[in-house]
Amino acid sequence: MFKFLFSSIGQKIQIAFSGLALAVFLLFHLFNNLVLFTGAENFNNMVSFLKSIHILVRVLEVGLVAIILLHIINAIMTTVKNRKANNGKYAVAANTAPQSSKTMIWSGMIILFFFIIHLRYYWYTFQNMAKDADFFEVMLRNEFGYLGHTPTAIFYILAIILIASHLKHGFVSVFKTIGLPSKYRDQIIHYLAFIFWAIIPLGFILVVLYIQYLSRL
């Protein structure tokens, strides 16, 4: 079993399923953030409810960190294996490699930087606030790291677009890995992938724009 998990196909399956789990997290995360559109009171109540079940939230967060690590480690190991198999060269000449592969290192680094900024400012600030605090006000702050601050908002939009392209690329691979019959595969890839790589990122961008609008009122 252990041997299978770390074989080439086992690792691809791990990347696929950890990626799917992360995409599902994003869907829930978007729903939480959409509560912002219903006003400060609802948003504050939602965050304070999450604080009241913080033990459960903590367990889910530990699971999330484990899944992110699994995803990154398997992705790196698979890349290294592939490069070794190619004797340090790409199978395809550098100038014909797909754009998404060429920009993977840079986009990966920017996404990682986004994670650090995002968790440092929002997650960490929320952790240190009382259950009945004004979380809505934090969302609108016009300081570096918060979305009322225009350069930070622009950086968020850029990171969200990069995450979207990563999801699009990933979804095609997931279905190739799982190996659904191509008749269904094409349809599923088309519709399901569209929700994940287009609708969810668009939802996050709307949240960023709405916060910018509110903080200018």
CB 188 within 8 A of CB 175: yes
Residue carrying the six token digits 């009171």: 41
Helix (H, G, I), strand (E, B) or coil at 129: coil
118 versus 185: smaller Cβ distance to ligand HEM: 118
Q: Measured from the CB of residue 114, what is the shortest distance to ligand HEM in angstroms? A: 7
Closest to ligand HEM by CB, 64 or 72: 64
Q: What are phi and psi of 145, to 5 degrees?
A: 100, -15
Compute the least distance from the CB of residue 76 to ligand HEM, in Å: 18
Q: Which is nearer to ligand HEM, 180 or 206 (CB)?
A: 206
- Quick check: helix, strand or coil at residue 131? coil
Least distance (Å) between residue 113 CB and ligand HEM: 12
Residues forming the site for ligand HEM (CB under 6 A): 26, 29, 33, 47, 50, 61, 64, 118-119, 122-123, 126, 147, 156, 160, 163, 204, 207-208
- Tokens representing 119 are 């968790």
Which lies closer to ligand HEM via its Cβ, residue 50 or residue 214? 50
Minimal distance, residue 80 CB to ligand HEM, in Å? 24
Compute the least distance from the CB of residue 4 to ligand HEM, in Å: 29
Q: Nearest CA to 137 among 145, 127, 128, 147?
A: 147
- Count Cβ atoms below 10 Å from residue 118 Cβ, excluding itself: 16
CB atoms near residue 11 (< 10 Å): 20
Q: 189 vs 208, which CB is nearer to ligand HEM?
A: 208
- CA distance linking residue 197 with residue 200, whole number of Å: 6
